[in-house]
Structure 1
Amino acid sequence: MSSTFRKQPAKSDLKRPARRGMARFEVVGRAADRDLIRSLAKRLAEDGAEADRIRATISQSMSTKPVRKAGILDALRRSPLVGASLDLARR
């Protein structure tokens, strides 16, 4: 028997991921990064809380917007003690 090697996936194979809301695409990169990119794609395809965290982290690190340095007042406003009735008077 002779084996035939398909260079491109069949059209039915390409439609299957689209039904689940997935897209097939090709990426060009370093050979050393192949496993990293594949594992990242697999995690993102799971579409859970972990995937959302990964997306947010990568989006933030890839952002071209300069990070605004917040002042001490902004940090105090985000404090969990905002609105707490603390008695800070000294004796």
Structure 2
Amino acid sequence: MTALAHALVDKVVWTILPDIKGRMPMANAAQNRAMRNYRARLISRGFSRFEIMALDRDRDLIRALARRLAEGGSAAEEVRAAVKTLVASEPAQPGGILAALRRSPLVGADLDLARPQVTRDIQALGAYHPGVGR
């Protein structure tokens, strides 16, 4: 194949089938260098580029989540912990609520938790309740 034919085929492939061939090439060396420098700066800050497969409707959600995590700070740590808990492969162990209640500072505080028993005479209230009093 001649150089001209090769260039023509390459142009057709880039124009018609960019998803198969890959992204469109950068226009010049300066753009390539700028992109390389930008990505190097991201790597030096601890960032990493990666591709994920997700539903299109989740795109904004995933980007917002990534942005929040990249900000750092206590808010990012809270979000990270919540997401880790939600996507954990193991289900929560039974009795977790009971264990949390037992750790409460009010354990052994002699609280009177008894509630008065209230009885109502439904017919005296004049309300109609199906199956009651008929």
Q: Does the TM-score normalized on the shorter chain lie above 0.5?
A: yes
Which ranges of structure 2 fall in alignment gaps of 5 or more residues? 1-23, 113-134
Could you tell me which residue of structure 1 aligns to residue 26 of structure 2?
6
Cα distance in 1 for partners of 2:57, 2:111 equals: 59
Cα distance in 2 for partners of 1:12, 1:72 equals: 51
Larger Rg: 2
Cα distance in 1 for partners of 2:56, 2:84 equals: 23
Quick one: which of 58, 64, 77 aligns to 2:102? 77
Could you say if the C-alpha distance between residues 15 and 69 of structure 1 is closer, same or farther in structure 2, counting changes exceeding 3 Å? same
How far is the alpha carbon of 1:17 from its aligned partner?
A: 0.7
Q: How many residues align?
A: 84
Which ranges of structure 1 fall in alignment gaps of 5 or more residues? none
User: Which string of whole-angstrom CA distances, capped at 9 and with x for unpartnered residues, describes residues 48-91 of structure 1?
Assistant: 1111111111111111112111278634431122475x587xxx
Cα distance in 2 for partners of 1:76, 1:51 equals: 28
- Are 1:49 and 2:74 counterparts? yes
Larger fraction in helix: 2
Could you say if the C-alpha distance between residues 72 and 38 of structure 1 is closer, same or farther in structure 2, counting changes exceeding 3 Å? closer
Cα distance in 2 for partners of 1:71, 1:20 equals: 38
Quick one: which of 5, 12, 30 aligns to 2:55? 30
Secondary structure of 1:10's counterpart equals helix
How far is the alpha carbon of 1:28 from its aligned partner?
A: 2.1
Greater relative CO, 1 or 2 (CA 8 Å, sep 6+): 1
Amino acid at match of 1:46: E
Higher deviation after alignment, 30-39 or 5-14:
5-14
Amino acid at match of 1:64: S
TM-score, normalised relative to structure 1 = 0.70
TM-score, normalised relative to structure 2 = 0.50
